[in-house]
């Protein structure tokens, strides 16, 4: 029987590359996102794909999507909790509180809601257990200039990862986090043109192929029972992270 994974934010970027990587490896993949057409493009007609359009911030819709996947597959092995959003570079006084709340809603509440749904399914299935992989960021460690909403949200994701990892022990549910730096997706194209630095300058930054991220998630997801990558940082080698600021 093929392994099973649900990937959120699967309609573009890292989510799309990761979904296609797992499908190519013979996994059954549930693709979650708000845009059904984009999810179908990511699925690319593969037989193992299950398109599950929903908003990760809608707990009822998320629960229904996870229940549908569990009913169709018989079990859920892995969640890649990938969906996220950000804001343009702004100092704290320029950030609209409603926009701050929107980032927290997606990047924190959405991650919690999906982890909650996966935990529920994994705890109830027989044999019990599974694996949850949260998409953090190098911003979970050090901020970029003008990124208070995104940085706050990614620090919170680390808290979710640690809590789920601890609470999952009794139920054979592992939880880890991948912290990504400068993977080249539509969101990261700006890196190739010049982005703000801590010294006030604008500089082009090195980027890496998003496939590297997908391959790392595959490694994390494929570990044997009883082993876990708790945290891993995957980044463009020469990006300004070590020494940022």
Catalytic residue numbers read 150
Q: What is the DSSP string of 16-58?
A: HHHHHHHHHTT-EEEEEES-HHHHHHHHTT-TTEEEEE--TT-
Name the maximum alpha-carbon separation found in the chain.
55
Q: How many residues does the chain have?
A: 245
CA distance 70 to 163: 24
Question: Which candidate, 103, 56, 45, places its Cα nearest to that of 80?
Answer: 56
Dihedral pair phi/psi, residue 29, rounded to 5°: -125, 125
Cβ–Cβ < 8 Å for 175, 164: yes
Phi-psi region of 74 (alpha: psi -120 to 50; beta: other; left: phi over 0): left
> How many whole angstroms from its chain centre is CA 201?
30
Residue written as tokens 């982005």?
195
Angle between helix 36-43 and helix 13-24 axes, rounded to 10 deg: 40
CA distance 184 to 128: 37
CA distance 40 to 52: 10
């Amino acid at each position: 029987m093929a392994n099973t994974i649900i990937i959120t934010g699967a309609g573009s970027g890292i989510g799309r590359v990761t979904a296609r990587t797992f499908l190519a490896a013979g996994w059954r993949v549930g693709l979650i996102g708000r845009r059904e057409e984009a999810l179908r493009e990511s699925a690319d007609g593969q037989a193992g794909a299950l398109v599950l359009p929903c908003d990760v911030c809608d707990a009822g819709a998320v629960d229904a999507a996870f229940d549908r996947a569990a009913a169709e597959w018989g079990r859920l092995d892995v969640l890649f909790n990938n969906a996220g959003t950000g804001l343009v570079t702004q100092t704290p006084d320029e950030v609209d509180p409603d926009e701050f709340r929107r980032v927290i809603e997606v990047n924190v509440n959405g991650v919690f809601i999906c982890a909650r749904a996966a935990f529920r399914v994994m705890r109830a299935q027989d044999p019990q257990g599974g694996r949850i992989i949260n998409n953090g960021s190098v911003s979970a460690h050090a901020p970029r200039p003008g990124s208070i909403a995104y940085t706050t949200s990614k620090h919170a994701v680390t808290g979710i990862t640690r809590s789920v990892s601890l609470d999952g022990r009794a139920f054979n549910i592992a939880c880890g986090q991948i912290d990504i730096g400068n993977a080249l997706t539509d969101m990261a194209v700006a890196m190739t043109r010049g982005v703000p630095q801590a010294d006030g300058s604008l500089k082009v930054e090195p980027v890496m192929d998003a496939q590297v991220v997908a391959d790392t998630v595959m490694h994390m997801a494929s570990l044997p029972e009883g082993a876990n990558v708790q945290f891993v940082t995957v980044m463009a080698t020469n990006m300004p992270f070590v020494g940022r600021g």
